[in-house]
A and B are shown apart, each in its own frame.
Chain A
């Protein structure tokens, strides 16, 4: 009964979304305030209806109602509650409901919090949101109904893929979707601005916080995904350039570019057409990501079931939204007036370089992801494009970007002085040179990338700190004055320092992990010992293991360092009911200096076990850095200027503090 109510709510939501799409749009064209205002309750009702449908589905999962086919296929009564809940979005149908739920949530947030938006703009933004809702609700209702019943109901479910029974992955999709779907707001603002024919500083001020929120979620989502890959897949890597990973990374790259270009629109009223284009591009890549994952056209670890009808449906949605918005862009964008002029060497110029490099980097990822697909359609040759491709193409472009990151904030708006900026950054240059030198001395056999990469990391971190120090006049004015200036700095200043510094931390982690990883693969019998980096690992033997919905074997490993016991690690081989699938649990000793990572493999011919061990130096810097970037985003989002300054449509240039 509850499932039927959920189904009904979903169909109603489709109707409401249709209303939200058409009525406010007509109202905005005719200048009818009543019709425009109708968008607000529509957005709220649409959200409530989808929330009801989502709750109904979750209810079916929690009580293990196997008469619902979706629950039967993806859940099991013995599963821990958290995985019953995450089971809701572990599959195609349920994840789609989550997708539209988040879409409607963002729409409702604009309806509630967007009080200072001009009514016309608000109506159009919500109408565009409604149109996206129509497309995806129709997709759900017509091709992917999660509420289909089974008769007679089975007694037990099929269970959830054990690889997905993991805390990081349980909450990875909601964050990633919040990021993907959050970009729909920037898209809606861009399309509304194109219809409106007006893009100004105030517009950028409204777009920025939404883009920032989406970017924060995307950052968490991508970082969580890589963390999951790192410690559940048991391959010791954190990024595989897998098509599904790439399809979350491309929107992140473009959203990062968008964040920066929106600053130029806000502060200098320039780059308007480009920013609108980026808004469209960022959401288009999110849609493409949805298509790549949902249609199963690309081979991937994450691929859901292959269904041609669904693939064609999503392709249709893709065509309408990307094609439609680009056509609108081509038609209306030339009418947008270009704004302020600037010299190539200036803050604006730096941000243009940032945008150029980020977009070109996204382009190389795009080609690497889609080229195999195109080739297969055209020539039937099947190829795979792996890490070597991305190292050659994405690598150098990002290298150039990283060199420029600390310089940008030191350049003045309109006309900058490169020499002066570099002189102010001398400490960063010195730190980078020192790090490169140290790395060269202690690790002469390492590739050139090691000193260069770590020097870049130091350059980014020290550069970010210097920028903050410069703003508060550290050591140039009395310390007390500096501290009170620090307290008075806007959130966005901290945000930038944390995000740019975090990027440096990520770079250090990636370089150290990729170049200095120690890998030992050995057949070991109980009692045998191997050396892994500075650690000595002794295989102590194995014992049987019983969990809530699995049984297995647990191997224990005594880890010592310099004769002292560090920890006893356990790596498990679990066999899950009811699928009888085997999953290996990694034994992990995390420290800031690096992780010891032990995986127990198959039994060998002579009665031992194949054991794979890694020492991954500084690997946690990757996630620490990502966390710092997330914090940076959160600080910027909390910046009161987004709220206090937002209502005025006329930008008050010159009163904005330089940053």
Chain B
């Protein structure tokens, strides 16, 4: 191989690696991202059962029920629409009624949201930004409204 051919081979090799990586990125971005909705948006978008998504809102006061073993259920609301969530596992330390929470999982055929991940707000001053924005749009949440 001449020097020129070698150089072209190296550059082609580099481009191939970059191309493979970008292909993987595009594939992964199509398949493994999760959309974030409020309960109202979920109703609007007619989410199909089985589609993985995140739902955020406030945990409705008086809705948290402990079931059999480690199963618990509660209602997530944006005060317009709400959705019942069941979760098998340990709720985070910061999970409380009347506070923000984001759940990730799928909707089952009966309209109950089966969550496998529950995120609560991490700080008195901090609420998941996604959620604060959505609640602000709905006029439910104001800045500085802490615990």
Contact = CB atoms under 8 A, between A and B. Distances in A.
A459 B47 CA distance: 47
A343 B31 CA distance: 40
A299 interface: yes
Contacts of A357: 17
A314 to B, nearest CB: 17
A385 B33 CA distance: 5
Contacts of B34: 383-386
B18 A371 contact: no
A509 interface: no
Contact of B21 (A343, A360, A522, A601): A360
A584 interface: yes
A393 to B, nearest CB: 5
B98 interface: no
Given A299-B129, A360-B18, A582-B94, A161 B123 contact: yes
Interface in A295-331: 296, 298-299, 301, 303, 305-306
Which of B27, B124, B134 has the largest count of A CB atoms less than 10 A from its CB?
A: B124
B41 to A, nearest CB: 10
B91 A392 contact: no
Given A357-B17, A360-B17, A602 B69 contact: no
Contacts of B129: 296, 298-299, 303, 306
Interface string B4-23: 00100110011001101100
Nearest to A519: B89
A372 B27 CA distance: 15
Given A382-B36, A583-B93, A601 B25 contact: no
A573 B90 CA distance: 13
A601 B124 CA distance: 20
Contacts of B31: 388, 392
A153 interface: no
Contacts of A119: none
A484 B73 CA distance: 69
Interface stretch (A250-258, A440-448, A604-612, A615-623): A604-612
A393 B23 CA distance: 9
A464 to B, nearest CB: 24
Contacts of A418: none
Contacts of B69: 522-523, 604, 610
A604 B24 contact: no
A378 to B, nearest CB: 14
B33 A393 contact: no
A344 B10 contact: yes
Contacts of A163: 122
A356 interface: yes
A456 to B, nearest CB: 18
Nearest to B33: A383
A330 B140 CA distance: 50
Interface of A: 161, 163, 234, 296, 298-299, 301, 303, 305-306, 341, 343-344, 349, 352, 356-357, 360, 363-364, 367-368, 371-372, 381-386, 388-389, 392-393, 396-397, 400, 521-523, 573, 579, 581-584, 599, 601-602, 604-605, 610, 612
25 contacts: A161-B123, A234-B93, A301-B122, A341-B3, A344-B6, A356-B18, A360-B17, A364-B21, A367-B29, A382-B35, A382-B130, A389-B32, A392-B24, A392-B31, A393-B24, A393-B28, A396-B20, A397-B21, A521-B70, A521-B88, A523-B70, A582-B93, A583-B93, A604-B69, A610-B70
Interface pairs A-B: 9 shortest CB-CB? A388-B32, A601-B90, A382-B36, A392-B28, A523-B69, A605-B66, A389-B28, A610-B70, A393-B24
Interface of B: 3, 6, 9-10, 13-14, 17-18, 20-21, 24-25, 27-29, 31-36, 54, 66-70, 88-91, 93-94, 122-126, 128-130, 133-134
